[in-house]
């Protein structure tokens, strides 16, 4: 089983020097991949709490914020040669699909085919609205945007007319290095997310779930894949475990058929990063 690392780099702690050193160490340690989370704006009050913390808020340092994923991947690409780079996750229904297709095709081109595009519909209603979109139809908009992006990555000229976007005789180059296109890894634990994974996905991404939760999710995913005439053969299962992941937990994930675990980095101070890299080295041996 492969082992990667997940981080949401935040200013002011995540300096260019820190990120460059992190990328080098991830590759030297033998990690398979680096995954970055995404949020473009934050809010003091939200209708739906952040599911990854006890107080329902994203833990951001005072006066700091989350770095942009695309720009950060560009920095990481310059100091790595083999480690894969993935979004965990890109919030497709609040993005411009033309720009998103261009940005990730360019990253795939510049990294010689090392990109994985983890996608999802998001949980923050206020962020979707701030980006100029409506909340209730984000799922159908996500699917439509994915169709457009796939076409831009694979066809010489694209025309598309949908409910949320229309383009006519559009050409986009360079195409991604990976064929038929950049792998789309669908995140989410709902029935609709499983169906989306079966329709669009080269894999599925479960975040902050333990082996028991993973087993339940895989039952739903298997049903969706079967309904679409697919199976897990050639379909990647990626899981970010709880922060306190153990070697025994890694073995349980492997027994469930998980292909890759993406360990949460957590704190980004130098001493915290050192301890986490030591721990990930031990997990690599267990995997």
pLDDT tens sequence across 140-166: 999 999 999 999 999 999 999 999 999
CA quadruple 125, 128, 134, 137: dihedral sign: negative
49, 106 Cβ separation under 8 angstroms: no
What's the pLDDT at 158?
98
Instruction: Tell me whether residue 241 is exposed, middle or buried, using C-beta atoms within 10 angstroms of its C-beta: 0 to 12, 13 to 18, 19 or more.
Output: buried
CATH superfamily of 2-286: Luciferase-like domain (3.20.20.30)
What's the pLDDT at 62?
83
CA 259 to chain centre: 15
Residue 14 phi, psi (nearest 5): -80, 85
What's the pLDDT at 57?
81
What's the pLDDT at 29?
96
The ranges of the chain with pLDDT < 50 are: none
Long-range interactions of 17-20: CB distance < 8 A, separation 24+: 18/268, 18/270, 18/273, 19/72, 19/75, 19/76, 20/75, 20/76, 20/78, 20/79
CA 204 to chain centre: 10
How is the chain split into domains, by residue range? 2-286
What's the pLDDT at 55?
83
Question: From CA 65, how far away is CA 42, in angstroms rounded?
Answer: 8
What's the pLDDT at 58?
83
187, 193 Cβ separation under 8 angstroms: yes
What's the pLDDT at 210?
97
What's the pLDDT at 56?
81
Distances (CA, A) of 249 to 19, 87, 102, 243: 28, 24, 38, 12
CA angle, 174 then 138 then 192, to 5°? 95
């Amino acid at each position: 089983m492969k082992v990667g690392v997940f981080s949401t780099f935040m200013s002011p702690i995540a300096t260019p020097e820190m990120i460059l050193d992190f990328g080098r160490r991830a590759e030297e340690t033998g990690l398979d991949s680096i995954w970055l989370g995404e949020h473009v704006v934050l809010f003091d009050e939200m209708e739906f709490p952040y599911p990854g913390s006890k107080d329902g808020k994203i833990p951001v340092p005072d006066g700091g914020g989350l770095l942009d994923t695309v720009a950060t991947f560009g920095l990481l690409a310059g100091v790595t040669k083999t480690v894969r780079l993935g979004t965990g996750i890109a919030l497709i229904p609040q993005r411009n699909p033309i720009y998103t297709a261009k940005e990730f095709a360019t990253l795939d081109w510049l990294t010689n085919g090392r990109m994985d595009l983890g996608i999802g519909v998001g949980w923050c209603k206020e962020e979707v609205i701030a980006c100029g979109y409506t909340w209730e139809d984000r799922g159908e908009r996500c699917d439509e945007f994915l169709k457009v992006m796939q076409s831009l990555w694979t066809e010489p000229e694209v025309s598309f007319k949908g409910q949320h976007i229309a383009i006519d005789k559009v050409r986009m180059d360079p195409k991604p290095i990976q064929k038929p296109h950049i792998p789309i890894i669908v995140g989410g634990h709902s029935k609709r997310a499983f169906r989306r994974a079966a329709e669009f996905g080269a894999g599925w991404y479960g975040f902050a779930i333990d082996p028991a939760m993973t087993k339940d999710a895989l039952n739903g995913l298997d049903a969706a894949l079967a309904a679409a005439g697919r199976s897990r053969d050639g379909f990647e299962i990626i899981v970010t475990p709880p922060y306190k992941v153990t070697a025994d937990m890694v073995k349980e994930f492997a027994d469930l058929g998980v292909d890759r675990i993406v360990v949460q980095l957590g704190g980004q101070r130098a001493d915290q990063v050192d301890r986490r890299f030591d721990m990930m080295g031990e997990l690599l041996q267990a995997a």
